Structure 1
Amino acid sequence: MICEPIQSLGGVKMADAKFYKALAKLCQEKNISLIVDEVQTGLGRTGTFWFSQQVEIQPDFLITAKGIASGLPLSCVLVKEKISETIKMGEHATTFGGGPVPCVAALATLKVILKKGFLENVKTKASYLKAQLSEMKEIEKVLGQGFLLGVQFKKSYPELAKNGLKNGLIVGESSDPSLIRLLPPLTTTKKEIDLFITLLKSTLNHEK
């Protein structure tokens, strides 16, 4: 069973915490491996090291990449001990696996994320961003968790991402033309959030 806990490109959709627990329980009862894709939700992006921790589940396989090496090419597959014991030498390999430069970048990244107070700061800044967005009259609601947010507008702005780029604004698109995705760096400051809100308002004014 493969689960992406927050469907980012699909419109930043997430289920109730009870769903994830029920899914994990079902997999355990039926002896089905639960594979959780935390490429976008993991490594502090949603306010905890793994999103799985927030919903209190322990996947059999956990997939992570991208943010683990701060942009350098690296991915990891974490498995429970009972599964790792069944994998023999050479059964799980990759031509470019274990590159020294990405691995050093990953160690440096993990050192920052695990620093005392870092994840609490992510939660604080994410709450501030969410509050600022929620006050804008053009916005219907703000979805997501931590620094993985979906901004649902009251109407579609199909050119927002393109026009925003001209204005110095970078946002992610989704399958919903009335929703943009925000995945700011975990080190984003309050001052940078204020600048983002200013640029977003300016871009929206030109969209009318």
Structure 2
Amino acid sequence: MRADAKENYNHLLTVARDVVTEHGANASLRDIARRAEVSHVTLLRHFPTREALLDALLQKGLEGLTVKAGELELSTSPGNALLYWLRNAVGFVQVYSGVVTMMATALANPGSALHASCDNLRKAGERLLKSAQAEGTARADMEGSDLFALIGALGWIGDQDSFKPRAEYLLDVIANAILIGRSREFH
């Protein structure tokens, strides 16, 4: 990519991050282009679909969570690794309003621009879950897809003004349901 094209790309991502943070995953692509002071066609040249734009926005964070899962596997007990990662994953999906629906849809669609990033995240969580299950600190009847669904559900709860005040408490409830033999609060 030419230097000026790379600069435009990075500028669009910076502006898009701001707009999506303010207005959610369904923010207007035209608003993003306007705020970036480029044409809608320029935006579409870099990001032909909303999913492609969101994938570019989310990719670094999703990759970071995937890498973090690997680091946690090596650095702490499986139960603690799962809990720490779960908290981080929920916090990540709460940053962008509406992203949970897109991630769930992308996971079911291998042709989606977000599919690979979401699938890698699901697999990373599944590895942590399986390690905790092998250690005997996590429910044996859960699957990685269950964990991914719970991240989505908890992210959605944090997205809702009426539920947001209880989001942290509800994360603790879910953590207590997943992890065996833990104390009531895990902050």
Q: Same fold (TM over 0.5)?
A: no
Q: What TM-score, normalized to structure 2?
A: 0.30
Which has the larger strand fraction?
1
| TM-score, with length taken from structure 1 | 0.28
Report the structure, 1 or 2, having the larger helix content: 2
Structure with max Cα Rg: 1
